[in-house]
Structure 1
Amino acid sequence: MPRVDNEAFYRSALIAHGETAEGVHWNSTESQEVRFRVLRSLLPDDLSDLTLVDAGCGFGDLYCYLDRHGERPERYIGLDVMEPMVQAARKRTGCEIRVCDIIGDRLPSADYYLCSGAMNTLTREETEAFIRKCYEASTHGFLFNLLKGWNTSPIYNLYLPREIKRLGLDMEAEVEIREGYLSGDFSVAFIKPRPDAS
């Protein structure tokens, strides 16, 4: 049983706030961009030859953030289940944006998958399925953020970093966790181990 009706949850914010950070349930553009900055720091220095998939892309804000900083990936694909957000993201980014249910649909392959905030209202079972699918569809890894805390909220999906680290190790990923940039938030990189070059 989902925590909330995601369609109604995001549609109401979109109606109230329009194509803004608040329209995808972030407190502000500033806090949204802090999260983007941390996710960007977990990627390689040069994005120019990479394909990035933004899972739960909303209005394409992550791409717009990278573009403003002069960092365009070779290819960017946005995925979102909400048709109005997909339409807005296509207009704002000029990139390939698809209507897609991350858990239920087939995913495109990419060097890296990223997700900022899209798992915040999922159940634990949905979150694990989402993480596993994005990780499997990537050739190098999956970078994402989650809300930090005990799993007691009726609306939001909260995790302790050690729980996510354990999941990553179970998936045989190399795990890096960043904390301390915003209260109640943490970012994660699940990176695929490189074959031994020797």
Structure 2
Amino acid sequence: MKDDLHNTIIRHYESCLERHGDTHRGVDWPNAEDAATRYRVMLDLVRPGPAPATLLDFGCGASHLYQYMLDRGIDGLSYAGLDASQAFCDLSRRKYPDNEYLCVDVLAEPDRLGEYDYIVMNGVFTEKRELGYDEMFDYFSRVLRVVFPKARKGIAFNVMSKEVDWERDDLFHVPVTQLTHFLSRELSRHYVVRHDYGLYEYTTYVYREHN
């Protein structure tokens, strides 16, 4: 049985898919241009290397990140997707049957998550819906404790910024100092915080080793 907190978020995204279909609004991004910016920033996690790297799109939704990669001819990455929503997994498999997709709640079944060079988590933690902040931070922390050990090189995720004119109660606005304290204590001291791409959020790269 899936975590109740997880179910709250899954239900929200599935309702967006039902209303808006296979579009940026179907994964609850307000506009396509900003969504593309997020895909670019997520992929900037990947460090150049001599051999192809494996990439897991955690919370892949409708695999729009993969379509972004195809549209821009991004190679050197072997893509796989994961989502806890059966509806999104089924949609992605229909669109890209040659890709590997895993439909799993990693808190309930952590052993089903394999290892990848890089794991990106775009939009997985930007919304908390009706959850309290502490509830959401606990959920966020538990997921990262499961996911980070499965990344051979690094992970990327985004959360909403505190440096905004106003905060929405349904979004997850995280103080940078609270985040970096958690990362340094429990995951890795090798991290990059990016607040340079013009959206009301920031993306963090966490690496296993220094560059």
Query: TM range, normalised to the smaller chain?
Result: 0.7 to 0.9
Question: Of 112, 118, 135, which aligns to 2:118?
Answer: 112
Asked if the contact 1:52–1:110 (Cα under 8 Å) also holds between the matched residues in 2, the reply is: yes
RMSD: 2.3
Q: Which runs of 4+ in 1 moved over 4 A?
A: none
Q: Deviations over 1:117-165 (max 9, x none)?
A: 0122351111011122211111111111111128x75422221222222
Question: Of 24, 31, 36, which aligns to 1:33?
Answer: 36
Label 1:67 to 1:48 Cα distance change in 2 as closer, same or farther (>3 A).
farther
Deviates more, 1:78-87 or 1:94-103: 94-103
User: Counterparts of 1:165-176 in structure 2 under 5 Å?
Assistant: 165-170=180-185, 171-176=187-192
Asked if the contact 2:45–2:155 (Cα under 8 Å) also holds between the matched residues in 1, the reply is: no
Q: Does 1:160 align with 2:175?
A: yes
**TM-score in terms of structure 1 length:** 0.88
3-state DSSP of counterpart to 1:12: helix
Label 1:47 to 1:75 Cα distance change in 2 as closer, same or farther (>3 A).
farther
Identity of aligned residues (%): 21
Number of equivalenced pairs: 194
Label 1:74 to 1:153 Cα distance change in 2 as closer, same or farther (>3 A).
closer
Label 1:57 to 1:73 Cα distance change in 2 as closer, same or farther (>3 A).
farther
Question: Of 148, 164, 173, which aligns to 1:135?
Answer: 148
Give me the whole-angstrom Cα distance separating, in 1, the residues matched to 2:54 and 2:152.
10
Gaps of 5+ in 2: 129-135
**TM-score in terms of structure 2 length:** 0.83
